Amino acid sequence: MPLRPIFRQLHPNFINVRTAYASEIWAQLTKNLLAKSSTKRFREYITEKGRMACRYLGSTLRARQNENRMRRNIKNVYFRGEKKNGRRSAGN
């Protein structure tokens, strides 16, 4: 009787083949799931970027409007003051 049991020898490339096969199966199983989740994340990213861009554009638009309003008010005060004092405006 042998001192140690004799096991059937596996194919020398068994581990690599098994790993490659498992990787292929895993890729097939997760392919659709990953595609769906990445598409969802991409859509969320785009919509969030769109919201941020809209907020930014809205805030810059409001800032420009406020700036223009202030310029008009300054011009109006300046020209009204000259007219009240009887002076002509610089442009005329």
Q: What are the structural domain ranges in the chain?
A: 16-90
CB 82 within 8 A of CB 88: yes
61 phi/psi in degrees, rounded to 5: -65, -45
Alpha carbon separation from 24 to 10, 30, 32, 42 (Å, rounded)? 21, 10, 14, 25
Per-residue confidence at 77, pLDDT binned at 50, 70, 90?
A: confident
Asked if the model's pLDDT at residue 87 lies above 60, the reply is no
**Looking at residue 83, what is its pLDDT?**
54
Query: pLDDT at residue 89 above 70?
Result: no
**Chain segment 54-63, per-residue pLDDT in tens:** 666 667 777 7
In the chain, % of residues over pLDDT 90: 0
